[in-house]
């Protein structure tokens, strides 16, 4: 299981994460919510070392990182082999076909044979109903389709944890539903997901566990039912403000 302890991060004079400790259970969907600027993306990106925390610890099975010490590239790669990030703006490579976008990490980073990587990519594309776009380029696809491709790309490396930053931002409700169904299926199939979202209805549908961040501090860590029925003024106020 992936766990963090007392994680801190400062940008300039701003303390963005103020000692966050949390567990991200396997085969569950953990959703990180909170007001804008509360540190959600910074926390998510810390789990993939796209952001380097200043102090605290991260443990993942036998891997233990102490951020007050230097992190070796071997440790970083070990962590990144277990996690895969789906970016908010999808970040597909514009000059590569859809198939190449999905197979590039398996082939070039994980050294999977080309045939095998392509076979796996076609399988993923069929699952999301987009195999006919294998030879197309990203700009030929709609936003919702590109988002599904970026999830396929993250899945192609068979990560233990899939990290998603606002997976439904800028999608219309129909596309949002498609992504929701895809994430629900991933979750039902026993994948471990960690997701940042502003969309409380989406969180309600897909989450097992909720982390509520405010001003760099964890204000709630527990199961979804407890969060949505929480009686604290602050959680009620937040839920009323965003729904
Ligand atoms: P959230 O995802 O909850 O909106 P973020 O983690 O994106 O919050 O940002 C938290 C705070 O950290 C914000 O005030 C933001 O401006 C600041 N911040 C985030 N990334 C950087 C960065 N790379 N450099 C400087 N400040 C940053």
If you average pLDDT over every residue of the chain, what do you get? 91
| CA-42 nearest atom, ligand 1 | 6
Plot region of 190 (φ>0 → left; ψ -120 to 50 → alpha; else → beta): left
The per-residue pLDDT for range 44-84, each reduced to its tens digit, is 999 999 999 999 999 999 999 999 999 999 999 899 888 98
The per-residue pLDDT for range 123-159, each reduced to its tens digit, is 999 988 899 999 999 999 988 889 889 989 988 988 8
| Ligand 1 in reach of 11 Cβ (< 6 A) | yes
| Ligand 1 in reach of 42 Cβ (< 6 A) | yes
Confidence of residue 184 (pLDDT cuts 50, 70, 90): confident
pLDDT at 69: 95
- Residues whose CB is less than 8 angstroms from the CB of residue 236 and which lie 6 or more positions away in sequence, other chains included: 230
**Global pTM value:** 0.91
Nearest residue by C-alpha to atom 6 in ligand 1 = 39
Ligand 1 center to 116 CA (angstroms): 39
The per-residue pLDDT for range 83-129, each reduced to its tens digit, is 988 877 778 999 999 999 999 999 998 899 999 999 999 999 998 88
| Ligand 1 in reach of 34 Cβ (< 6 A) | yes
Rounded to whole angstroms, how far apart are CA atoms 30 and 2? 11
Indicate if the pLDDT at residue 197 is higher than 80: yes
| CA-165 nearest atom, ligand 1 | 2
Q: Which of 64-68, 161-165, 168-172, 191-195 has the lowest mean pLDDT?
A: 168-172
Rounded to whole angstroms, how far apart are CA atoms 29 and 98? 27
> Token pair for residue 195?
């997701």
Pocket of ligand 1, candidates 13, 20, 33, 37: which has the most ligand atoms within 8 Å of its Cβ, to mutate?
37
Rounded to whole angstroms, how far apart are CA atoms 131 and 114? 17
110-117, Cβ contacts within 8 angstroms, sequence gap of 24 or more: 110/81, 110/157, 117/156
> Token pair for residue 229?
């029925």
What is the ipTM metric for this complex?
A: 0.98
Closest to 144 in 3D by CA, of 181, 102, 172, 184: 172
> Token pair for residue 54?
């200043």
> Token pair for residue 192?
């471990």
Query: Count of CB atoms within 10 A of residue 201's CB?
Result: 14
Select the more confidently predicted residue: 198 or 217: 217
Indicate if the pLDDT at residue 5 is higher than 70: yes
Ligand 1 center to 89 CA (angstroms): 16
């Amino acid at each position: 299981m992936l766990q963090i302890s007392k994680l801190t991060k400062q940008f300039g004079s701003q303390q963005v994460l103020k000692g966050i400790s949390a567990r991200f259970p396997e085969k569950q969907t953990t959703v990180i919510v909170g007001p804008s600027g509360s540190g959600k993306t910074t926390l998510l990106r810390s789990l993939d070392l796209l952001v380097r925390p200043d102090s605290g610890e991260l443990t993942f099975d036998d891997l233990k990182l102490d951020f007050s010490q230097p992190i070796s590239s071997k440790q970083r790669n070990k962590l990144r082999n277990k996690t895969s990030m789906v970016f908010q703006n999808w970040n597909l490579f514009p000059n590569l076909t859809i198939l190449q976008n999905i197979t590039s990490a398996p082939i070039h980073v994980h050294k999977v044979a080309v045939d095998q990587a392509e076979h796996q990519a076609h399988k993923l594309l069929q699952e999301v109903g987009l195999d006919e776009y294998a030879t197309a380029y990203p700009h030929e696809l709609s936003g919702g389709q590109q988002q599904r491709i970026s999830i396929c790309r993250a899945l192609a490396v068979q990560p233990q944890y899939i990290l998603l930053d606002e997976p439904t931002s800028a999608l219309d409700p129909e596309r949002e539903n498609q992504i929701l169904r895809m994430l629900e299926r991933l979750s039902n199939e026993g994948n471990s997901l960690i997701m940042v979202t502003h969309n409380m209805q989406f969180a309600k549908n897909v989450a097992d566990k909720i982390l509520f961040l405010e001003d760099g501090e964890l204000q709630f860590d527990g199961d979804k039912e407890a969060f949505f029925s929480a009686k604290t003024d602050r959680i009620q106020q937040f839920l009323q403000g965003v729904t």
